[in-house]
């Protein structure tokens, strides 16, 4: 059987792709920047990056309908209020940690009739609608899963998958390799999407400097 057959997934051309942005509590966000920024500055940085990501994603859902919906999953009520005010749908996190929160979001968007899921963390602030278009195209083109790695090709800075693809989320240390390994174990087709705008995740002083240089 041709594993790239569009019959493996329903609604290939009219795929309803929902974006999910997971966000930690603002009070504990960006702890690796504690030696560089004060707690208030880290909180402000996180809100700024979240706002930038949501602005991009809501634009993608409004102009070309690359996205059918945008969601934010968090246990922080302030984050959820920001999300709602910016046109995203809030999900109050009930699990413990990032991967359980994403499992919760997957169940929520499946109930909302999504066909596929695109995970974009809030600390990948340079995401562009072209990235969303590229990730979506990979799924429509036959991939079960599409992964955008960080610059070091260690972490996962974006992950797209059909909801029919049985992939346990592996966000955390070395998640790029772990996602690929689990996809291979489950005989899923993986495409790697490399993008300079998705490669930057702001989690240390060097990446913060780079973000501030290109964002201003």
The string of pLDDT tens digits covering residues 157-209 is 999 999 999 899 999 899 999 999 999 999 999 999 999 999 999 888 888 88
In a domain, 83, yes or no: yes
3-state secondary structure of 54: helix
Residue-level pLDDT at 155? 93
In a domain, 5, yes or no: no
In this predicted structure, the answer to whether residue 11 has a pLDDT above a threshold of 90 is no
The string of pLDDT tens digits covering residues 127-166 is 999 999 999 999 999 999 999 999 999 999 999 999 999 8
Within 8 A by CB and 6+ apart from 196, the residues are: 126
pLDDT band for position 7 (cuts 50, 70, 90): very low
Higher pLDDT, 18 or 204: 18
Residue-level pLDDT at 65? 76
In the chain, the number of structural domains is 1
Angstrom distance (rounded) from CA 40 to CA 27: 8
Higher pLDDT, 80 or 2: 80
Q: Is the pTM of this model over 0.85?
A: yes
Residue-level pLDDT at 3? 36
Q: CATH code at 26?
A: 3.90.550.10
In a domain, 102, yes or no: yes
Percent of the chain residues topping a pLDDT of 90? 70
Within 8 A by CB and 6+ apart from 38, the residues are: none
In a domain, 46, yes or no: yes
SS (H, E, C) 94-156: CCCCHHHHHHHHHHHHHHCCCCEEEECCCCCCCCCHHHHHHHHHHHHCCCCEEEEECCCCCCE
The stretch 87-104 carries a mean pLDDT of: 93
In a domain, 25, yes or no: yes
In a domain, 4, yes or no: no
- Give the domain range for residue 20: 14-215
In a domain, 7, yes or no: no
In a domain, 1, yes or no: no
Listed residue (132, 133, 21) closest to 71, CA to CA = 21
The stretch 14-25 carries a mean pLDDT of: 93
User: What is the full DSSP assignment across 184-208?
Assistant: HHTT--EEE---HHHH----SHHHH
Listed residue (128, 113, 21) closest to 66, CA to CA = 128
Residue-level pLDDT at 4? 38
The stretch 37-48 carries a mean pLDDT of: 90
Residue-level pLDDT at 86? 95
């Amino acid at each position: 059987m041709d594993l790239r057959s569009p019959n493996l997934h329903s609604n290939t051309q009219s795929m309803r792709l929902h974006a999910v942005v997971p966000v930690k509590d603002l009070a504990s966000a960006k702890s690796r920047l504690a030696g560089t920024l004060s707690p208030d500055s880290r909180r402000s940085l996180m809100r700024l990056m979240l706002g930038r990501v949501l602005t991009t994603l809501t634009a993608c859902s409004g102009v070309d309908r690359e996205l059918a919906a945008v969601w934010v999953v968090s246990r922080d009520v302030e984050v959820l209020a920001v999300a709602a005010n910016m046109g995203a749908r809030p999900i109050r996190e009930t699990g413990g940690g990032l991967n359980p929160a994403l499992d919760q979001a997957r169940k929520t968007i499946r109930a909302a009739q999504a066909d596929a899921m695109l995970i974009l963390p809030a600390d990948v602030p340079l995401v562009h609608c072209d990235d969303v278009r590229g990730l979506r195209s990979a799924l429509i083109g036959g991939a079960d899963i599409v992964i955008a790695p960080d610059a070091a090709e260690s972490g996962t800075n974006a992950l797209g998958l059909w909801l029919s693809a049985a992939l346990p989320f592996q966000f955390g240390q070395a998640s790029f390799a772990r996602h690929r390994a689990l996809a291979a174990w489950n005989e899923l087709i993986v495409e790697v999407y490399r993008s300079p705008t998705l490669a930057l995740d702001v989690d240390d002083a060097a990446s913060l400097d780079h973000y501030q240089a290109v964002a201003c």
